[in-house]
Structure 1
Amino acid sequence: MSSWQLIIQQQIVKPLQTREGTFSLLASLGVWVLFLYYPIRKSAEALADPHSPVEGILTTLGLENLANWVLPELGAYWALALYVLPPFAILVAADQMISERLRGGLRFLLLRAKREEIFFGRFTGQLIIQLLLIIATIFSATLMGVLRSGDSGFFLHHIHTLLIAGVQLFIVVMPFIALMSLLSVLLNKVRTATIVAMLLFAFGESLFRWLGTKVPGLDYLALLVPGNQLSQMLNNLPMDSWALLAYPIAQTLVFMIAGYLLFRRQSV
């Protein structure tokens, strides 16, 4: 097994090797069960009820397409996942190298692996973790819808819808993981990296738009804020959202190139 493969494997199993990591995984599982049982199930029941005012409310908010999913559970899942998966990706991917660099483990690892293997291996490991999470959550939401509707052939007839939604959610979280790769190089505290990423996600676009009114040209930095396309994707069906994915792909490339170039020159 190559060094790159070992680094990816280590990154995937890392959460299970510490008490804190195991607790975080169990807590995340508990939170998802609550999301599944309350927001998703309740929203789906309201969407499936022809007498419910929810569809009118969604139309008023400009979110009428959420009622057009083949399963109401998937519409509710899509809306929730677009805004829940990115913060989760930030939390999970925050410590790609910071703690290990401070402990001196990164210096030891560099004796056995190249810098590009370490940097891109950690990023790839985090991608795999997020992919497994997306598969598990979209499957559980779909299974809930199948059990409610009794449509046992749903998976067979609509597998393309699930695949498209899963791929697009995966692309959505990619720049957040890449951002944490960059911040893992720039910063020396995991908590600081997490706070910076969360603030950028929540307020970055508005901040850069405001700065653009003071200093012409700064508003273009808003294009680098991960998630700036989420509000547009929210009311789109996945098959209508492909053009919006150019943003997260470009952001991922920018963050990864910047992070790797800095890591190559960083003293550990």
Structure 2
Amino acid sequence: MNSPSLPPLREVIARHGLSASKALGQNFLFDEQLLARIAAIPGDLAGKAVLEVGPGPGGLTRALLRAGARVTAIEMDSRCLPALAELDEAFPGQLRVIQGDALKMDHAELMGDEPFAVLSNLPYNIGTALFVRWLGGESWPPLWTSLTLMFQQEVAQRIVAAPGGSAFGRLAVLAQWRSSARLALKVHRSAFTPPPKVMSAIVHITPAAMPEGVSARTLETVTAAAFGQRRKMLRQSLKSIPGALEALDTLGIESTRRAETLSVEEFVAVARRLS
């Protein structure tokens, strides 16, 4: 696909007098080769619908547009809208920009109930909340076909963590019980302007088959209780959930274990007994 010639991102930002807002959790990426690598993680996007949250001045957006995607971008910061409008002109019919708070929007409705990929350099202050929302709920499979998301590296490692370590927790269970999650790319802090204090990483998640006979709400309740008191034994952390200790006994799971020692499959089995 032939792409229009675009000015460097630094020039666009300087021309519009933009600077990253700490209050909005913004950190800009200028490396266009890196942005192209991120856009390529989910595979061929030509003609496909993509949702991007927090595009800022449009660094990742231009990489997605160059890949042929039809992008819906949700941006809260009105300062960035003129820069995004330039991309709309350069890629006619490919970009729709919506100003507002992504946490307050129905994304499926916004995307016209069409399957879509999510790619985003998520603002740090709303990243986890959006992630939990995309992976939650009883309806499965979701309308999104994949999530390719930038997080602080510590959060990314918690999402892909295996049982037994301190990183394993609610986010790992949520991401892995009916999805496949992998660490796709590490991004050095020096790639951003301004550089954040921590390293970043991109997680790629695709939906998988949902285990039968399990309520997502019940699983969320069990993991919230178990990891809410992760230093305590399960017999203590789960005692507030009716039937939980009996479920452990029936399944042969020792109640003296701690939450991080259970596998995702064991959490699913407990939730199935309670559902």
* TM-score past 0.5 threshold: no
Task: Considering Cα pairs closer than 8 Å and 6+ residues apart, tell me whether 1 or 2 has the greater RCO.
Answer: 1
User: TM-score band (shorter)?
Assistant: under 0.3
Instruction: Return the TM-score normalized by structure 1.
Output: 0.27
- Whichever structure has more strand as a proportion of its residues is 2
Instruction: Return the TM-score normalized by structure 2.
Output: 0.26
